[in-house]
Structure 1
Amino acid sequence: MEVQPAKAKPTSQPPRFSPPLTPCNVPVRRCPVSREEASHRILIMRVGANGDILMGTPLLSALRQAYPTAHLTWLADFKHLEAIDANPYIDELIGWDDRYWKRTLRKLRYPLWLWRALGFRRELRRRGYDIFISFQPEEWPTVLYGVGAATTIGIFDTFRRFNRAARTSPLSRRYRYAYTDSDLPPHRTDQYLLSLRALGLPQPSDKRMQLGYTEQDAAAVSRFLAQNHLPSGARFVVVAPQTTWPTRNWPPERYVEVVDALARQGDRVVVVGNSPRPRPRRKRGAEHDEEFRDVVQEVAAGLQSPPIVAQDALTFRQLAALIDRAALVISGDTGPMHMAAALDTPYVSLFGPTAPEWYAPQAGRGIALAHPVPCGPCDQKFCRNEARDHRCMRLITPSEVLRATDSLLNAEPLLKS
């Protein structure tokens, strides 16, 4: 049964300050005093994507452990805000419309951009942050320079990797502490935790991610499951076949083989994902055909039994509530893998152009499958080997995935902490 897509969000919004939501699935540990009375006022910036934001949440628990009365603020893009807006440690959120700022610059509206950027900066300075931590590329957060923080920390991995820079950008000198490629450990979470070194704090032993959802989200998922004739307590598996990079997608026909095998052994499967975004005119050719494939529908169409498809039907937090009830999650290197680990749901993740030692969750119950290839891990959105055959993903077989799912589904159940 397919569910009607959720309503689209506004396309342009000014920056907005808002309080966090109260999660129903994790205990809350927020600042017990007002922002003005807080021992530290810390602003953290990572606008997206969802998985990257979740990999930054172990830093929040470490900061809260070290500074119980600190006021923690996180700036994220509106479309990724649900990854952090019910976090149990966050005291304030700043919603940011990245598309608006970029569109303003593309249209050469420099005076308007500058006027609004300066106004936003004045508001940040008024709030008196004393620590600013940026996980964005070096040349990205221009609008946030000069927020008035005495301690500024920058983690600059993304700029170096994607722009193939041979040196650090001069803009990194505007940070008191700047960490670049030569300083960075392989895993994204460990990179973010370098911020603790700059603050003179120890590295945490617990690197679990945190993800909250509300009672309203849980109720929406209960209705969704009831509509699809899944009774409360019934075992089901969540399959997320689509990622934002074509190179991270496992072939749809192999997902079909796995889902059909699970159905034969009596497991219900919920296929989740979003529709491809509208295709710009400038993106033509076979390479971009892969980028805009509707993998979710390809998987659903190939299944022998009618599937439960939740495409565009659940918000991010509702998906979290669904995953929290699932017996298992199967996905590529994408958000649902991190969500499962954060919610202590077993997962099987499929890695190709990226390496598990970079992005696989450092805590949680899961199995990361990967095969070494001469051209990888390339960390590229499009396959660049001579055959363009995505061999790193195709080397993962359905039988491997089914063995991993069987080992997790048949493991002794553990209590979620």
Structure 2
Amino acid sequence: MSDLSGVTVHADCRYFRGDLPCRPNKEHGYICQSCPVYAPVQKRILLIKLGAIGDVIRTTPLLRRLRQEYPGCYITWLTLTPAILPQGEVDEILKFDFASSLQLMARHFDVAINLDKEKEACALLLKVEAPAKFGYTLREYDGVAWPQNEQAHHKFLTGVFDQLSLQNQKPYVQEIFELCGFDFRGEEYVFDTHEDKGYRWEALPEGRPRIGLNTGCGDRWTTRLWSDEKWIALITQLQAAGYAPVLLGGEAENARNQVLQAATGATYLGTFPLQQFINLMHQMDGIVTQVTMGMHISIALGKPTILMNNIFNPYEFDLYGRGQLVGPDKQCVCFYRGTCQLGTSCMEDLPAEKVFAAVQASVPV
């Protein structure tokens, strides 16, 4: 509490802004001296997780544990994709840019966590003031990413040696919990379904389990792609068994999804802004996806997720007991590679029947 010219100011309140009236003052006329919603911040926590979107999504289980371990904490999250974070669950969401970095370096936090090895993220953890730091920092004399604390050694090493990454049997979420000094207790993602936006989906089929088919995987790891022929085979099997396949994707998948719709009659509603796309996925009873943003959204929404994987360590993914992970019948030799060393991706050795069986086991008709 501070006193300025005889006026009480609760600058330690989670609602206090300093540059503008706080929301309780704006909405109800409350002033600090008699404010009934005064909520003093007990700990200030900085979380740096810049991108990509999927990695930001799968970092959200940390929010649950941070709230539990630090009651009354105020969480600031710095990211490249603010729109994906759940509004109301993070006290302060900052987009990574020069202005945000500048003000963060001038502030004090009780706990600072950086989960990215990008040099700019590591430099921020190095410069920000906090007695407890976790994750990755920047070595000043050579400018390389380096573990800040002993618990970060495991995750750091699996990221720089393929041999250790292949041996790893810990899901990503468990790794980042341990990096922060926590044991992982199955904390779920914190995510917004955007159901309150009132999106209307009259064109979606009714009366049958909807199986969302997320047909793309981005342009970085194209060895994950499944051919149109495989998707068509899966769609026809799903239709024959009483499921309602729904094609999902963004602009990069639009042409492919139109081809698949024309060949099978599967439902395809087009492309949508991110929040609307998330809500569309929320209407599904199960999701078939490769390792991509759609996978993270599906897990975050609590959907039975049938995950097709070839080039990544399967232990990396935690489906929370919902769905199944399926891989090619042929051993993949292209660990974390964007192009296939053998010329033809082993994803062509993942039969549609295998994916279909996983759908049946995860989402009964």
TM bracket (short chain): 0.7 to 0.9
Residue number in structure 2 paired with 1:137? 117
Offset from partner CA, 1:279-311 (integer Å, 9 cap, x none): xxxxxxxxxxxxxxxx44224314434333244
Structure 1 residue matching 2:119: 3-state secondary structure: coil
Distance 2:351 2:254 in 1: 19
Paired with 1:275 and 1:208, the residues of 2 have a C-alpha distance of: 29
Equivalent of 2:193 in 203, 208, 213: 213
Match of 1:43 among 32, 46, 68: 46
> What's the counterpart of residue 96 of structure 1?
96
Cα distance in 2 for residues equivalent to 1:169 and 1:369:
42
**Aligned AA (1:267):** Y
Counting matched residue pairs gives: 313
Summarize deviations over 1:149-202 as a string: whole Å, max 9, x none: 22222248xx9xxxxxxxx975446945653206985432122112331xxxx4
Matches within 5 A, 1:268-347: 268-276=244-252, 295-303=253-261, 304-313=263-272, 315-347=273-305
Query: Which ranges of structure 1 fall in alignment gaps of 5 or more residues?
Result: 1-18, 20-31, 98-116, 160-167, 277-294, 412-417
Paired residue for 1:10?
A: none
**Aligned AA (1:381):** G
Question: What is the CA-CA distance between 1:372 and the residue it aligns to?
Answer: 7.0
C-alpha contact 2:208 2:242 (8 A) present in aligned 1: no
Q: C-alpha deviations, 1:21-53, integer Å up to 9, x for none?
A: xxxxxxxxxxx865xx32211111112222211
AA partner of residue 329 (structure 1): I
Aligned to 2:362: 408
Letter in 2 for 1:81: P
Alpha-carbon distance in structure 2 between the residues aligned to 1:339 and 1:377:
25
Distance 2:331 2:339 in 1: 16
Q: Counterpart amino acid of 2:133?
A: T
| Residue of structure 1 in register with 2:345 after alignment | 390
Letter of the structure 2 residue corresponding to residue 397 of structure 1: P
Task: Give the equivalent residue in structure 1 for 2:179.
Answer: 195
CA distance in 2, matches of 1:340, 1:229: 18
Structure 1 letter corresponding to 2:184: P
Question: Is the contact made by 1:352 and 1:371 (CA closer than 8 Å) also made in structure 2?
Answer: yes
Distance in 2, matches of 1:240 and 1:322, equals: 12
Matches within 5 A, 1:2-401: 37-77=40-80, 80-86=81-87, 89-96=89-96, 117=98, 119-141=99-121, 144=124, 145-155=126-136, 171-172=144-145, 175=148, 178-179=152-153, 180-181=156-157, 186-197=170-181, 202-217=182-197, 219-220=198-199, 223=200, 225-226=201-202, 228=203, 230-231=205-206, 235-244=209-218, 245-276=221-252, 295-303=253-261, 304-313=263-272, 315-358=273-316, 360-371=317-328, 376=333, 378-383=335-340, 385=341, 387-391=342-346, 393-401=347-355
Q: What CA deviation, in whole Å up to 9, does each residue of 1:372-414 have, x standing for no partner?
A: 755535111222x1x31111x1221001011111122217xxx
- Cα deviation, 1:44-72, whole Å, max 9, x if unaligned, reads 11122222112212211111111121111
Q: Report the Cα distance in structure 2 between the residues aligned to 1:347 and 1:410, rounded to whole angstroms.
A: 13
The CA RMSD measured in Å over matched residues stands at: 3.1
Q: Which stretch shifts more, 299-308 or 333-342?
A: 299-308
The letter for the 1-side match of 2:266 is P
Cα offset, 1:229, TM superposition:
5.3
Unaligned residue ranges in structure 2 (runs of 5+) = 1-21, 23-36, 159-163
Structure 2 CA distance for partners of 1:75 and 1:48, relative to 1, 3 Å = same
Q: Relative to structure 1, is the Cα distance of residues 372 and 154 closer, same or farther in structure 2, using a 3 angstrom cutoff? A: farther
Query: By how many angstroms is 1:324 displaced?
Result: 2.5
Compute the TM-score of the two structures, normalised by the length of structure 2: 0.75
Counting aligned pairs with the same residue, the percent is: 19
- Counterpart residue type for residue 248 of structure 2: V
Q: Choose 1 or 2 for highest CA Rg.
A: 2
Please state how far the C-alpha of 1:361 moved relative to its aligned partner. 2.2
Distance change in 2, residues 1:174/1:33 (3 Å): farther
* Amino acid aligned to 1:83: I
Kindly indicate whether the alpha-carbon contact (under 8 Å) linking 2:329 and 2:350 is maintained by their aligned counterparts in 1: no
Structure 1 length-normalised TM: 0.67
Change (3 A) 1:174 1:338: closer
In structure 2, distance between residues paired with 1:258 and 1:216: 33
Change (3 A) 1:176 1:262: closer
Asked if the contact 1:155–1:191 (Cα under 8 Å) also holds between the matched residues in 2, the reply is no
Instruction: Classify the secondary structure of the residue corresponding to 2:251.
Output: coil
Cα offset, 1:258, TM superposition: 0.9
**Offset, 1:317:** 2.8
Change (3 A) 1:169 1:151: farther
SS in 2 for 1:399: helix
